[in-house]
Amino acid sequence: MSQLFYLIIINFNSFVYKLETSGTIKIARALHNTSSLITLDISNNNIGSEAADDVAAILSHNSKLQQLYLGGNKLETSGTIKIARALHNTSSPITLDISNNNIGSEAADDVAAILSHNSKLQQLYLGGNKLETSGTIKIARALHNTSSLITLDISNNNIGSEAADDVAAILSHNSKLQQLYLGGNKLETSGTIKIARALHNTSSLITLDISNSNIDSEAADGVAAILSHNNKFQQLYLGGNKLETSDTIKIARALHSTSSLITLDISNNSTGSEATSDIADVLSHNTKLQ
């Protein structure tokens, strides 16, 4: 029954069908007696916080749930707290997506409680919310004992540089991290340097997004150091910062041994024509650039 449900949800999303609050409540109530769910995907269905009680009821007795996708709804802080509390006894999620739900920092304690006893978490998507610095610190501290992260997305959460120490602590012992999305925050140069230093020993990273983070030239060396010992890099987003020509040259030279680039974004920086030779060299041996 759980597999059938999963397929139905995928079809709903494929046809941009919107369950809305009323439809989600009906689906959730039909699953109240199901305790075998492994994957639940009701993302991007315009679910309001009113559906949270019924969705939470499903989660509370599915202790082996591994993948939960609730991104792109309107759970708000109140709905997210209900969902999080229903997951308190579940230690098996390897993927949790509650991105783009207008979640405020008030929900951070309950989300952190889920993460603190889940040492097997691999993918965490919290982007596009309003966690702020205080909420991000709580989330990050709850992840201190997690060394299995492959994807971490806390982009566009109005995070300030004060959270950088705690985020860096997560990264420093997740040597298998592949995707890191931090763009659209306020990490500033000081915060970015801390993040970059925590990633120095990570050679598995293939995606790095620190776009629109108010980074200037002091952070360029740190970013270049990450790139220089990772020749499998695929996606780099540095747009909307304050990188000068000399900084872009450093970044480009660090990418000289990379031939796997798919995406390169260094738009909206103060890069002059002097950097074009080094950028051109990167492009010339990345034949799969998209």
Tell me the per-residue pLDDT of 127-184, one tens digit each, with 9 for 90 and over: 999 999 999 999 999 999 899 999 999 999 999 999 999 999 999 989 999 999 999 9
CA distances from 125 to 101, 131, 174 (A): 11, 12, 16
Assess whether pLDDT exceeds 90 at residue 3: no
Indicate the pairing of strand 207-209 with strand 263-265: unpaired
Position 261 pLDDT exceeds 70: yes
- Give the pLDDT mean for 63-86: 96
Q: Per CATH, is 2-284 categorized as 3.80.10.10? A: yes
Burial label for 216, CB within 10 Å (0-12, 13-18, 19+), is: middle
| pLDDT (0 to 100) of residue 91 | 83
Rounded to an integer, the average pLDDT of 210-226 is: 95
Task: Output the pLDDT for position 16.
Answer: 52
d(CA 71, CA 41): 9
Q: What pLDDT was estimated at residue 7? A: 39
**Phi and psi of 236, rounded to 5°?**
-130, 120
- The model's confidence at residue 66, banded by pLDDT at 50, 70 and 90, is very high
Which range is least confidently modeled, 4-18, 45-59, 77-91, 168-182? 4-18
Residue 3 structure tokens: 């597999």
Q: Is residue 252 within 8 Å of residue 284, measured between CB atoms? A: no
What is the model's pLDDT at position 6?
Answer: 42
Whether 147 contacts 173, CB under 8 Å: yes
Instruction: State the pTM of this model.
Output: 0.92
Does residue 236 have a pLDDT over 50?
yes
Rounded distance between C-alpha atoms, residue 58 and residue 53, angstroms: 9
pLDDT of residue 242: 95
For residues 20 and 42, the answer to whether their CB atoms sit within 8 Å is no
* The pLDDT of residue 5: 43
